[in-house]
């Protein structure tokens, strides 16, 4: 794993633990020689992880749509900054540049980006690891929803295994580096198969 795409909030959240985790993730990436790919902002958790990665001597690739340049207050001093025309281009370029994906606490955009790359994994469009850095239990409800979807027959148990989760950045990155995708098809061949 040479690059990891991190989805996270353009806000810092209501508790200091979120910013602390973003800084710890940046440092953990650098300690493992992993380049950060992220949304290009300098505010919120996005700014925290980028600053920490750069301060530790790491590489940071930012990708931001032109329409969000002012709103997300673009981080100009990155290793690479790509300004694209749409959110679709942003996500496509981030996915192309990443060897793995991590979502940290964030809002709707973070949820959407995470669920999209998770769906791509389920469909076999990529075989990259997809993970949640579950800071202070932030994603407990989402993980419970995924378990509920399995119990209700909407997600196969093997596909539930596509989501890695941990509350420690270093441990999570080590799990991402060891990840091997399950050999399971998305498509169900019989009506009673889940």
Residue pLDDT, tens place only, 162-177: 999 999 999 999 999 9
Tell me how far apart the alpha carbons of residues 27 and 111 are, in angstroms, rounded to a whole number.
24
Helices (H), the chain: 16-31, 44-55, 87-97, 108-122, 140-151, 157-160, 169-178
Contact 81, 60 (CB under 8 A): no
Report the helix count and the strand count for the chain, using DSSP H and E.
7, 7
Write down the pLDDT at residue 173.
Answer: 98
pTM of the predicted protein model: 0.92
pLDDT at 72: 64
* pLDDT, position 150: 97
Q: How far apart are CA 1 and CA 36, in angstroms?
A: 11
| DSSP structure class, residue 1 | -
pLDDT higher than 70, residue 153: yes
Q: How confident is the model at residue 75 (pLDDT cuts 50, 70, 90)?
A: confident
Helix or strand holding residue 73 (H, E): none
Q: 50 pLDDT exceeds 90? A: yes
Check whether 190 has a pLDDT greater than 60: no
- Domains, the chain, ranges and CATH? 3-148+157-178 (3.40.50.450)
Neighbours of 92 (CB within 10 A): 13
Percentage of the residues of the chain whose pLDDT score is greater than 90: 88
Closest to 11 measured CA to CA, from 73, 62, 66:
73
How are strands ordered across the β-sheet holding 3-7?
Answer: 80-84, 60-65, 35-38, 3-7, 100-103, 129-133, 163-166
């Amino acid at each position: 794993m040479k690059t990891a795409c991190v989805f996270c909030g353009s806000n810092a959240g209501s508790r200091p633990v979120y910013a602390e985790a973003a800084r710890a993730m940046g440092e953990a990436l650098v300690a493992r020689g992993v380049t950060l790919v992220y949304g290009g902002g300098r505010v919120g958790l996005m700014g925290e992880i980028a600053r920490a990665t750069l301060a530790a001597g790491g590489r940071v690739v930012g990708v931001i749509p032109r329409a969000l340049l002012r709103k997300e207050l673009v981080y100009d001093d990155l290793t690479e900054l790509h300004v694209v025309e749409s959110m679709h281009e942003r996500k496509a370029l981030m996915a192309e540049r990443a060897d793995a994906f991590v979502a940290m606490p964030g809002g709707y955009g973070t949820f959407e980006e995470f669920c999209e790359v998770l769906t791509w994994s389920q469909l076999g469009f990529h075989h990259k690891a997809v993970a949640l850095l579950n800071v202070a239990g932030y994603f407990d409800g989402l993980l419970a929803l995924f378990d509920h979807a399995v119990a209700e027959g909407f997600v196969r148990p093997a596909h539930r295994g596509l989501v890695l989760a941990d509350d420690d950045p270093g441990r999570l990155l080590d799990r991402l580096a060891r990840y091997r995708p399950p050999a399971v098809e998305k498509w169900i061949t019989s009506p009673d198969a889940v």
